[in-house]
A = this chain, B = another copy of it.
Amino acid sequence: MTTLIRSTGPEPEPPSVEPVGVAVVGLGYWGPNLVRNLVELPAAELLAVCDLNPGALAKIAKKYPAVHVTSSFDELLANPAIEALVIATPVSTHHPLAAAALAAGKHVFVEKPLAGSYVEAKDVIDMAESLGLVLMPGHTFLYSPPVNLSLDLINRRELGDIFFITMSRVNLGLHQSDVSVVWDLAPHDFSILRYWLGEVPVRASALTRSCIVPGTPDVAFIDLEFASGTIAHVELSWLAPSKLRRTAIVGSEKMLVYDDTSSEPVRIFNSGADLSAPGTFGEYNLTYRTGDIVSPHLEASEPLSLELADFCNSIRTGSEPRSSNRIGLDVVAMAEAVDRSIAENGQPVEVESNRLAEVS
């Protein structure tokens, strides 16, 4: 290769504002990704990381000598230079850690889901609002280029009326020790659906099975009904040896297939069925439009980096982050409804409605 090729993209802008002093809590599977992105983010300054695992701390210390490592959460709260906490710990700890951080006057970013229950989520949201602090759930997919391209096509009505959406998120996943596959994976798809459709489903039902760990569903089939008429199916599992990802949005005008594991993550099928007036004998006449398939060009970008930049920007400007706590609350409401349906042997149940959801 050659040094004559100099410009590998624009130089990182010097941050227009003071970088946000940040600490990361939890260095498990996801934490190190947050650390890496925060180190490279001009809008943030990673001051410390916290975990109970000495090995995890040691790794960060070797790689980033400038970052302070500690096993004491209170130490972070006591440090005035730390303006914000980025929490990537087990779901059951989201509420206590977030609440403590808010109480200490810190802005808080919490990995999805925002909390382990609707009540817990509502509680930390109310705290953040009354304290005037940013509370942001980590719904990373809201920053993914294919998800946003799809949103744009939906909003411009390129797909027409949204007939139905099917989503598969199936792979050989890490079993979560404290949550079901629903609370682990569904927040991804629920946040995307909420983002795309701008509405919360009115009813949800689910069929699940606990194949490996008794009492911990590891496969789930979820049906959702929206007031707009759109119906959606979400299929989740930790058990599939091979990743199967496929989201299909079928509209009256076009179909869109989204697969973030593909080299062409978004494909648009310009075909459809048109219904003409009923013929004799009440027979309907359908004509089929067939057309091209287009894979739109997408700029490469790391959603996690955009997400964390949005978090920092909200802290500095007071704007609401795209991954808002209103969306975070709706996602928790949807997951809770799924649990209720499971408890009622798959009966469709209402989804906790809330005034926040009405505002899209």
Contact = CB atoms under 8 A, between A and B. Distances in A.
A223 to B, nearest CB: 4
How many identical subunits does the complex contain?
Answer: 4
A81 interface: no
A228 to B, nearest CB: 11
Contact of A2 (B28, B264, B284): B28
A308 interface: no
A178 B8 CA distance: 18
B286 A270 contact: no
Interface in A165-183: 166, 168, 170, 172, 174-178
A167 to B, nearest CB: 11
B39 A177 contact: no
A252 interface: yes
Contacts of A275: 212-213
Given A2-B91, A209-B231, A239-B250, 19 more contacts: A1-B31, A1-B111, A2-B89, A2-B178, A3-B31, A4-B283, A6-B55, A6-B56, A39-B63, A163-B211, A163-B239, A164-B209, A166-B168, A166-B170, A175-B284, A207-B348, A237-B250, A240-B250, A292-B294
A52 B269 contact: no
A211 to B, nearest CB: 4
Interface stretch (A15-23, A100-108, A241-249): A241-249
B293 A242 contact: yes
A272 to B, nearest CB: 6
Contacts of A292: 294-297
Contacts of A252: 211
Contact of A177 (B271, B283, B294): B283
Contact of A231 (B2, B66, B174, B207): B207
How big is the A interface, by class? 35 or more
Contacts of A284: 175, 177, 212-213
Nearest to A252: B211
A72 interface: no
Given A2-B28, A5-B174, A205 B346 contact: yes
A89 B209 CA distance: 40
Interface of A: 1-6, 8, 11-12, 26-32, 39-40, 51-53, 55-56, 58-59, 63, 65-66, 88-91, 111, 161, 163-164, 166, 168, 170, 172, 174-178, 203, 205, 207-209, 211-213, 219, 221, 223, 225, 229, 231, 233, 235, 237-242, 244, 246, 248, 250, 252, 254-255, 257, 261, 263-264, 269-273, 275, 283-284, 286, 288, 290-297, 345-348
Given A2-B28, A3-B28, A219 B163 contact: yes
A172 B237 CA distance: 28
Contacts of A170: 166, 248, 250
